[in-house]
Copies of this chain bind each other. A is one copy, B any other.
Amino acid sequence: MAPMNIRENIRPGGRSARVQASVHKAVRGLLSTMDRSDVTIPLIATQAGVTPSTIYRRWGDLQELLADVAVERLRPDAPPKDTGSAHTDLAQWAEQYADEMASGPGRAMIRDVLASVGADTRNAGKCCGYTREQLQVIADRARERGEAFPDVETVIDTLVAPIMYRILFDDVAPTSEKVLALVECLMSPQR
């Protein structure tokens, strides 16, 4: 009933860390090979060289585990590229964001993250947080350069939210033109 929560502080070299790593790796491997509906906890356990009960006790159920893996994969590995101006920084970031999120694996990861209910793990919140951080980097860079740049929350409302909405509900990747138009609308002077 009450699901597991995933501990935040795992000593880096310890057994917990090794188990977590091998389970995550097993999940990634299996998801890349087979249909998600065929991935089960006993299967993952076998792949990871771990007993199923370990996974049940640590993650609670498949959904939480998939969400945990997805959040990690959705974490950006680098700050947005510095292209010389805030406008092009944002445009480039947005195009990449839209592409990644609209891809098959991207969509699956978003679904996994949203489907997990875990009130304390706040998976969806983490993803949103990553996006905010990335946008903040662009915003800070703009300020250093003395360029005008809208509030990060405004960028989320105007640019990120529509991209995500289309992907989630319309099952459509916004075209590059559409994304650029949204960026334009955000960065154009009359704001």
A→B interface (CB under 8 Å): 1, 3, 35-38, 111, 114-115, 117, 122, 124-125, 127-128, 156-158, 160-162, 164-166, 168-171, 182, 190
* Chain B residues whose CB sits within 8 angstroms of the CB of A114 once the complex forms: 111, 114-115, 168
With A114-B114, A114-B115, A164-B161 already in contact, the answer to whether A169 and B125 are too (CB < 8 A) is yes
Contact status A36-B157, CB under 8 Å: no
The complex is assembled from copies of this chain, and their number is 2
Residue of B nearest to A2 (CB): B37
* Chain B residues whose CB sits within 8 angstroms of the CB of A157 once the complex forms: 161-162, 165, 182
Inter-chain CA distance A36–B119, complex, in Å, is: 13
- Please give 11 more A-B residue pairs, beta carbons under 8 A apart, in addition to A128-B170, A157-B161: A36-B117, A122-B171, A124-B169, A156-B162, A157-B162, A157-B182, A158-B162, A161-B161, A161-B165, A161-B166, A164-B165
Inter-chain CA distance A182–B153, complex, in Å, is: 13
Q: Give 17 A-B contacts (CB < 8 Å), ordered by A residue.
A: A1-B35, A1-B37, A111-B115, A111-B117, A114-B114, A114-B115, A124-B170, A124-B171, A125-B170, A128-B170, A156-B162, A158-B162, A160-B165, A161-B162, A161-B165, A161-B166, A164-B165
Inter-chain CA distance A169–B37, complex, in Å, is: 24
* Chain B residues whose CB sits within 8 angstroms of the CB of A166 once the complex forms: 161
Contact status B36-A124, CB under 8 Å: no
* Chain B residues whose CB sits within 8 angstroms of the CB of A122 once the complex forms: 171
Selected from B1, B37, B164, the residue in CB contact (under 8 A) with A117 is B37
Inter-chain CA distance A170–B126, complex, in Å, is: 9
